[in-house]
Amino acid sequence: MSNADLHLSSHISKQFNAELDDIRQRVLTMGGLVEQQVSEAVRALTEADGELGQQVANRDYKVNAMEVGIDEECIRVLARRQPAATDLRLIMAVVKTITDLERIGDEAEKIGRMAASLAANPTPAGSLSPVETMGRRVSSMVHRVLDAFARLDAEDALEIAKEDRKVDSEYDAISRQCLTFMLEDPRTIRPVMDLQWAARALERIGDHASNIGEYVIYLIQGKDVRHTSLAQMEAELEARNG
């Protein structure tokens, strides 16, 4: 069975169908806000826009409120409907996904605060370019994994895990660059440390996006792949679709 053939169960109760669809849509709405937070946090950082950075930080409560609301609805559905099979996997995947989305929001808040700080304490010339590149990749990962969740696309979800390796490499390179800046000129230590923390937050966002990709694969395959190698996940997807 291909990913395109996977559909959530249809129920005699139209209300149950509506509840499940509402939960999925609320996750995507939360994801859209989180995606915006990440994008604007990266822009605030790379453009030294302290006001935008502070706005991003101040909006994090909206993401938190969405997580609480969706979590409460999932608990109500579990108690009232006692879902099984694919429906139960959906609820479990949603609960895990919104936790990672909330944490992505937390990391975006950190980047916003670092952007506000860096607006007042500029970093050395050339230091922002690698972070901007990393930020674009991470923003794309968040967008793509939400799209994979919406379309139940396991192949795209797997690609996110591959992208996360690139993010890790970029973070390592930025860390080395930051150390060089601080050794060459101790006066840059404070802004460069802020930049380092912002890059660390981006790296964590990549990790959370990769986690969501694994939940999408779990929803489709019914298998927990959190501790499975990329090669093994690829082989299992090929076997499933072969």
Write the pLDDT tens digit of every residue in 28-77.
999 999 999 999 999 999 999 999 999 999 999 999 999 999 999 999 99
pLDDT given for residue 45 in this prediction = 93
Q: Indicate the burial class of 154 (C-beta count within 10 angstroms; 0-12, 13-18, 19 or more).
A: buried
In this prediction, residue 4 has a pLDDT band, given cuts at 50, 70 and 90, of very low
Distance from C-alpha of 216 to C-alpha of 222, rounded to nearest angstrom: 10
Which CATH superfamily is 3-241 part of? Phosphate transport system protein phou homolog 2; domain 2 (1.20.58.220)
Q: Where does the pLDDT of residue 216 fall: very low under 50, low under 70, confident under 90, or very high at 90 and above?
A: very high
pLDDT of residue 50: 94
Residues 6+ apart with CB under 8 A from 63: 30, 33, 34, 37, 101, 102, 105
- Site of tokens 């139940």: 152
Stretch 173-202: mean pLDDT: 95
CB atoms within 10 A of CB 87: 20
Whether the predicted pLDDT of 2 surpasses 50: no
The end-to-end CA distance of the chain, in Å, is 9
Task: Report the pLDDT value the prediction gives residue 15, as an integer from 0 to 100.
Answer: 85
Question: In the chain, pLDDT over 70 holds for what percent of residues?
Answer: 87
pLDDT confidence band for 10 (50 / 70 / 90): low
The pLDDT tens digits of the residues spanning 79-106 come to 998 888 889 999 999 999 999 999 999 9
- Above 50 in pLDDT, residue 111? yes
Q: Distances in Å between the alpha carbon of 238 and those of 142, 162, 165, 233?
A: 24, 16, 21, 9
